[in-house]
Structure formats: C-alpha cells, structure tokens
Amino acid sequence: MHRIVAVPRHATAIRAVADLLSRFRLDFIFVGSVARAAHLGDPVAAGSIDAVATMGPQQKSQLAMMAQNNGFGVDREELDAAEELDLVPITFDGIRVNVLIASNALYGRMVADAESVEFEEIALRVPRAEDFALLLQMNNDVEALMSVIESPRFDRAGYNRKLQAIGLRELVVPE
C-alpha cells in the first residue's frame, strides 16, 4: 500500500471530505481516485472525490445540510435527482464529491473491512485490495485490475470466494 499523494486542490478537498464525514460520525471509506492512489500509487490530480459511508437514507439531507454549512456546494435539484441512487452529490472548491450510502451488505462489509493509509497528517480508510479489485472489475478497468491482482498482498482465494458469494462466478481469477 502506498502513501496517498494529491495535488494541492484535491488534497484540500480530500481533507474537507474526511473532516465532514468524521464530524457526522459516519464510518466511511474513500473509493475512486483516492483508493487508486492508495493501491496503485497514482496521485490524485483530477476527477471527483468519492466515498462510501454507512448511514441511513434519512441522513442524506442532514449530510447535505451539514456539507453546505461547512463550505461545500449543494445543488438541491441535483440532490433531489439523486434521491433514488443513494448518493449525496456535492462539490468542494469546484471539485465534485460523491458520497454513496452503503445501503447493502456488500458496501457495508467493504466499509467495515477497510484498511488505513497515510495521507499527509491523517489516516484515511480505503477498501482492502480484494474489495478495490471488485470495484475495478465492476468499472471494467482491466489494466488497474490486473495490477491489483498481481500484487503479492492480493488474496486471490478470498477474492474468488467473494465473487462466487455475490453471484459473479464467471469473473473468478485463476489461482
């Protein structure tokens, strides 16, 4: 696992998201570009900041209100449009931030099993390599998926068990 590195503007957004979700007392993990930085060493330099948080759907509007009170941009129409997606779309300093509600057991387990990684002076949580590989698989990011799978820390047997348990037997990786 690498130390997360980000360009200044994205670093500020990552700190703001971590602070917001921590103040809201949510269990959460960073996915997307932050998890990619942790597992593959790519710096966070563009795109959105994405997190998965364990919360109830009723907390979405509370999170959006707290975000707005802490310097985040909240577009009410966009928030209403995302109602059925279990997603809280916000922005920070022009950077898109997506907070996905861990509304099913798979995401909940990902959050519970997360690992810590160093970012500046704080510890962030990201999915374990096997869970990150599953996210890459669902995104059809074959190049990054192969990099993660080939890592000596990657638990192929555990990954394959998870794929089989969620009905994705056809994606099992040869051991």
Confidence of residue 135 (pLDDT cuts 50, 70, 90): very high
**Rounded mean pLDDT, 116-136:** 95
pLDDT attached to residue 64: 92
**Rounded mean pLDDT, 138-157:** 92
Question: Which residues make up the CATH 3.30.460.40 domain(s) of the chain?
Answer: 8-127
d(CA 71, CA 130): 34
The CATH topology of domain 8-127 is Beta Polymerase; domain 2 (3.30.460)
Closest CA to 13 of 38, 43, 50: 50
Q: What is the pLDDT of residues 101-125, one digit of tens each?
A: 987 888 889 999 999 999 999 999 9
